[in-house]
Amino acid sequence: MSFRVRVIALVMLIAVTATGATAWLTLRQASREFDRTVTANAEQLSLITTELTDFARTRGSWNGVDDLVGRLSLHTGQRIRLAATEGTVLADSDVLAGQPARGVAGPPLVVDPRPVWQPHPATVAHPSPKIVLLAEYEYRLGLAFAACLTRSGIGIRLEESELGVALPRPVTSSAASKACDIEARNQPGIDDVDRVFEAELRRCAAQATGAVTCLQDTFAAAVGRSAPAELRVYVGAAEQPPPSLPVDSILATAAVVAVAGAAVSWLLSRRVLRPIGALTAASGRVGDGQLAERVPVHGHDELAGLARSFNRMADSLQQSEQRQRQMISDVAHELRTPLANLRGYLEALKDGVLPPTPELFESLHDEAVLQQRIVDDLQDLALAEAGVLTYQRTVLDLAELAATCRTAHAALAAAGGVELRVTGGGPHRVHGDPDRLRQVVGNLIRNALAATPPGGTITLSTAADGPSHVLEVADTGTGIAEADLPHLFDRFWRADRARGRGRGYTTGSGLGLPIARQIVADHHGRITAASELGSGTVFTIHLPAVPV
């Protein structure tokens, strides 16, 4: 599976998972809100019907219901329409608010202000039609009493009587309420008993089963002639849609998010894979030997960092290739001339052209020794750069090392008319291989002797420098030009190539300083050079100090 497909699949998985989770949470929250809205509507409907029923029961009629309908509409936020069974509209919140009446929505609610008779337990045991007559009689008195209290501006509350009927009672007792009680009892026809109704009640009560239920139905029929009319309540408007879950919008949003995720993943894969493709192609060409291949770098992100790293790698490979070719060329150059000289002298001796003098044999020996030294130095440098050069490490004193090197090269310095001296105290203990470090210092001293004219001075000094100890090899020789300092540790480089093997730094094999730098690096140190043309050169070796 390609990387592009994996990226798209991963991003799509994340997008679909996140979208699905978001849609599920949204749908769940919407369902909760929907349930809460439905519950709220049910509570509102119950409130509306209860308020209207209590209004009719406490006032004995529907007069003045407009104010209650207006208050309920404001409280519930619903459109309320109150109509009689034959269709006559008693109140409409739209009309009360000064708006055109909208159409009704859904089936109406029935508001029946007739009370429900709850008989006493003794009545349940011995049902009698007389109880219904008394209850109906008390109810009609209550209606007249409630109408009088309403006209007198007295507060009304419902209270269940001994006969099981909820009857209106004044909130505060007063002379007006007593007058209303007298008025209620003096209503015309209050004592008349409908004989037909009584006969029906007796027949119903005579049945053994369901006597109480029958008495309740009979009571409802009796009080229906006196109670306020049954009404129909319409809640809501036809233009107002019922609440519903936004499933379509949620699914549409999820689809849009999924498509957007796919598009983003595609663009991301292109953004990622385009430079990766360029790197793949460039690395293939580098593998084929085209070391000059480079990739363009855009931006500062991780891909740009990868491109810069690739370019640095290609630069390193190209430089390494160039150094390798240069090394082969230098080695061939270094060996060709002396070998040609040796061959020419040997052929001359063989042909009898030159006499075999001691001086000639000494010159040939020196050339052979030089070639052996070049080969040995090449081997040491290859081993050191490969990390397989062996070291016998021990704790040594740099001051003693400097004194030992002075003794070893004193004769050579004296022959060249150069003073070789040691300064600085001790001890300056480091951990290293004494023989390899003497090799480093010896290379530096030989280079200094080659560049210092007679009468000059070479100074070996040691000192402490924080967590390191340093050993300096300073001379009063010809110095090195500033432009040549960066090449000082290159293989086969000479400060003055015109001098050949004459005076100048990195004389002899031209590998002394590269070997010295590698050995010091293997000792976790560093070697630096500072010089000024005509004023001499200072090589400084920094090595980690051994704790006392």
pLDDT tens, position by position, 510-539 = 678 888 888 999 999 999 999 988 889 999
Q: Tell me, what's the pLDDT at 172?
A: 57
Q: What residue type is 475 in one-letter code?
A: D
With CA atoms as reference, report the closest residue to 236 among 88, 48, 412.
48
With CA atoms as reference, report the closest residue to 525 among 422, 393, 432, 424.
432
Tokens matching residue 114: 């007739």
SS3 for 71-132 is HHHHHHCCCEEEEECCCCEEEEHHHHCCCCCCCECCCCEEECCCCCCCCCHHHHHCCCHHHH
CA–CA separation, 8 vs 263, rounded Å?
Answer: 9
With CA atoms as reference, report the closest residue to 214 among 119, 303, 89, 282.
119
Q: Tell me, what's the pLDDT at 315?
A: 87
Number of CB atoms found within 10 A of residue 533's CB: 14
CA–CA separation, 204 vs 224, rounded Å?
Answer: 18
Q: Are 104 and 81 in contact (CB under 8 A)?
A: yes
Number of CB atoms found within 10 A of residue 338's CB: 17
Q: Which residues of the chain have pLDDT under 70?
A: 1-8, 30, 32-40, 117-133, 141, 143, 149, 162-163, 172-226, 238-247, 249-250, 268-273, 330, 334, 491-510, 548
- Alpha helix stretches (DSSP H) within 103-205: 121-125, 129-151, 175-185, 195-205
What is the residue-wise DSSP string for 399-434? HHHHHHHHHHHHHHHHHTT-EEEEE--S--EEEE-H
Residues 6+ apart with CB under 8 A from 165: 115, 117, 135, 138, 139, 142
Every domain of the chain and the residues it spans: 1-113+243-290, 121-227, 391-544
Q: Tell me, what's the pLDDT at 328?
A: 75
Q: Are 501 and 508 in contact (CB under 8 A)?
A: yes
Phi, psi (deg, nearest 5) at residue 537? -135, 145
Q: Are 56 and 62 in contact (CB under 8 A)?
A: yes
Q: Tell me, what's the pLDDT at 441?
A: 93
Q: Does domain 391-544 have CATH number 3.30.565.10?
A: yes
Residues in the chain: 548
Q: Are 504 and 494 in contact (CB under 8 A)?
A: yes
> Which pTM does this prediction carry?
0.43
Q: Tell me, what's the pLDDT at 504?
A: 45
Q: Is 299 left (phi over 0), alpha (psi -120 to 50) or beta?
A: left
Tokens matching residue 146: 């409630």
